[in-house]
Amino acid sequence: KQEVTQIPAALSVPEGENLVLNCSFTDSAIYNLQWFRQDPGKGLTSLLLIQSSQREQTSGRLNASLDKSSGRSTLYIAASQPGDSATYLCAVLYGNKLVFGAGTILRVKS
Amino acid sequence: NAGVTQTPKFQVLKTGQSMTLQCAQDMNHEYMSWYRQDPGMGLRLIHYSVGAGITDQGEVPNGYNVSRSTTEDFPLRLLSAAPSQTSVYFCASSPGYGYTFGSGTRLTVV
């Protein structure tokens, strides 16, 4: 069964810290991997998309890496801000199906 | 360009009632999907479509029907609502890489 796991489940950091969110997947035959942000009671906002042939993608203070052989992806957030507080979801595309992890709840304290 | 539009945003149903959750996209995407999000369970795939006239089951299809008569629309039907279908429902679309999500429908079945 294709499973996606995110660690940690929750994270609380002071403002300004650099942090890493982890995502692992059991089946390495992926098409791509997408990181999303979800604010409470809201929909999903796409942050970064990494194709299976890529190693990393960057957008502003965000950097996502992909290691297919080990079944892992990391989302690096630099200089965290209170506005970064949200749930971060990792999703892996297998064929026509997007499989989600349970998410990491991030709280950045001012 | 509205993206993915879901209606209604909120709905309360009585057990046994039927209803249709609407989803429309204006990006000419071939792929569309329905997910439900439950606390502690993450997002789970209900049904998906790879083009007009083509649908398939996801991880949790029981109790739900779909059809795709046009590229733009992908409605989700609950034929006889049950309390277990209380959830937040998200519709998503994709051109084949990277998914865009709607803002969700919060459904309560009493």
Q: Which residues of chain A have pLDDT under 70?
A: none
Percent of chain B with pLDDT over 90: 93
- pLDDT for res B107: 98
CA angle A108, A32, A43 (to 5 degrees): 45
**Residue A65 tokens, joined:** 């890496």
Which of chain B's residues have a Cβ under 8 Å away from the Cβ of A99? 45
Judge: B90–A43 Cβ closer than 8 Å, yes or no.
Answer: yes
Q: Does position B1 have pLDDT exceeding 80, yes or no?
A: no
Q: Does position B41 have pLDDT exceeding 90, yes or no?
A: no
When pLDDT is averaged across residues B32-48 and rounded to a whole number, the result is 94
**Residue B72 tokens, joined:** 């733009």
Which of chain B's residues have a Cβ under 8 Å away from the Cβ of A45? 101
CA-nearest of B46, B49, B20 to B32 is B49
Tell me the C-alpha to C-alpha distance, in Å, between residue A55 and each of A5, A20, A62, A96: 19, 16, 14, 22
Judge: B98–A44 Cβ closer than 8 Å, yes or no.
Answer: no
Taking a C-beta distance cutoff of 8 angstroms, is the pair B43, B37 a contact?
yes
Dihedral of the alpha carbons of B42, B48, B50, B54, in degrees to the nearest 10: 170
Model confidence at B2, in pLDDT bands (50, 70, 90)? confident
**Nearest CB to B103: which of A32, A42, A102?**
A42
Which of chain A's residues have a Cβ under 8 Å away from the Cβ of B44? 100
Beta-carbon neighbour count of residue A9 at 10 Å?
A: 12
